[in-house]
Amino acid sequence: MFSVPAIPTDRLPELLRRMPKAELHMHIEGSLEPELIFALGQRNHISLPYASVEDLRQAYAFTNLQSFLDIYYAGASVLIHEQDFYDMAWAYLRKAAAENVLRTEMFFDPQTHTARGVSMETVIKGLHRACVDAQAQLGVSAALILCFLRHLSEEEAFETLEQALPFRDYFIGVGLDSSELGHPPEKFAKVFERCRNLGLHLVAHAGEEGPPAYVWSALDVLKVERIDHGVQSSKDPALMQRLAKDRIALTVCPLSNQKLCVFPNLGDHNLGALLDAGLMATVNSDDPAYFGGYMNANFVQTFAATGLNAAHAYALARNSFEASFIDAAAKRAFADRVDAVFESVASGV
């Protein structure tokens, strides 16, 4: 058993930046920086309702999830060709590599694009090609998770799944995202059952703005392997016990929670309470271009605001690989790399 070494507080930001980590909750369309949105808009002759990059950035003042989604879908309108999807994913993957993200399982929203006449093939092939290049050129293990938009119907989710199945080898699982309130997980029970029978991994957003009941439904009706967000689980002691007992990972996104006013004050975030209750919590960036930071910013700012320590950092790093959809040998190899960095930072190397 690895004993977490004592690490001085002033060395904690260095540790957080250097430690190997996996990112399990990142919407690739949410990594579109304003500069790339404008560049792709020009390349594809698409006009945007903003005069400049700065004007677009100033629009990122969200009051809730829906106010963000309105701008998120507008930004995605510049994605037309396979190369656009490649360029978007490649930009994120380079940032991930620079921040010591060794494994990433990226969400993508095909319905956002097929509704605009962009083919499923265009979306998936562009993203997949970037994943292949990330492994070869950056040493980053990258995979795709197809998300259904929950504000649309289950029938439309089935149609999306059928469109994606010719590219089954290009994605590892399915998820559920978009507007949570009023769209409980059980709305998609049948399509998730179909995906389970296909051998796909299952995850779902639940308990971000929605109540703990949505987390229960995601677990018991959809039978997901991970809960995306899940921070509202702390309001239900029985649910907290269930999540801890079954080692169900929560892919928590602190800066997103602050930006969307789930926790308006980052210092009030319950990440530490989730960890201390024995839950397999992880840290992720969600939509980093919109919410003010990629992985290292989420770690450094959250630790500074909440007073979390090196033991918390170690748990989060190890949890991220343990909760990922990679094989046991790869998990052990990544865990060894986490241990090595903690020992290195502790010794001042």
Residue 187: give the domain boundaries. Answer: 10-346
Active site residue 208: yes
Residues sharing a CB contact under 8 Å with residue 304, sequence separation 6 or more, in sequence order:
13
Q: Report if residue 173 sits inside a domain.
A: yes
Q: In the predicted model, is pLDDT for residue 1 greater than 70?
A: no
Task: Using DSSP bridges, classify how beta strands 101-108 and 173-177 pair: parallel, antiparallel or unpaired.
Answer: unpaired
267 vs 67, more confident: 267
Q: Does residue 185 belong to any structural domain of this protein? A: yes
Q: pLDDT tens digits for 6-37?
A: 888 889 999 999 999 999 999 999 999 999 99
CA neighbor of 143 nearest in space, from 101, 115, 179: 101
278 lies in some domain? yes
Residue 115 predicted with pLDDT over 80: yes
pTM of the model: 0.96
According to the model, what pLDDT value does residue 23 have?
98
Is residue 235 a contact partner of residue 212, using CB atoms and an 8 Å limit?
yes
Provide the pLDDT for residue 322.
98
Q: Among 208, 209, 225, 322, which one carries the catalytic annotation?
A: 208
The confidence score (pLDDT) of residue 154 equals 98
- pLDDT band, very low/low/confident/very high, at 257 (cuts 50, 70, 90): very high
Quick check: is 162 in a domain? yes
User: Would you say residue 64 lies in a domain?
Assistant: yes
190, pLDDT greater than 70: yes
CA–CA dist 49, 246 (Å, integer): 47
Q: Give pLDDT, residue 349.
A: 66
Alpha helices in the chain (DSSP H): 12-18, 34-43, 53-58, 65-75, 82-98, 110-114, 120-133, 154-164, 189-197, 212-220, 237-246, 254-259, 271-276, 288-291, 295-306, 310-322, 328-346
Across 34-48, 60-74, 129-143, the highest mean pLDDT is recorded for: 129-143
Domain contains 139: yes
Q: Please state, rounded to an integer, the average pLDDT across all residues of the chain.
A: 95
Mean pLDDT within 290-309: 96
The string of pLDDT tens digits covering residues 64-96 is 878 887 888 778 899 999 999 999 999 999 999
1 part of a folded domain: no
Q: Tally the C-alpha atoms within 13 A of residue 56's C-alpha that lie toward its C-beta.
A: 22
Q: Is 140 exposed, middle or buried (0-12, 13-18, 19+ CB in 10 A)?
A: buried
Q: Count of domains in the chain?
A: 1
CATH number of the domain bearing residue 74:
3.20.20.140
In a domain, 5, yes or no: no
pLDDT value, residue 20: 98
CA-based nearest residue to 179, from 270, 75, 73, 26? 73
Q: Do the beta carbons of residue 217 and residue 188 sit within 8 Å?
A: no
Q: What was the pLDDT predicted at 48?
A: 87
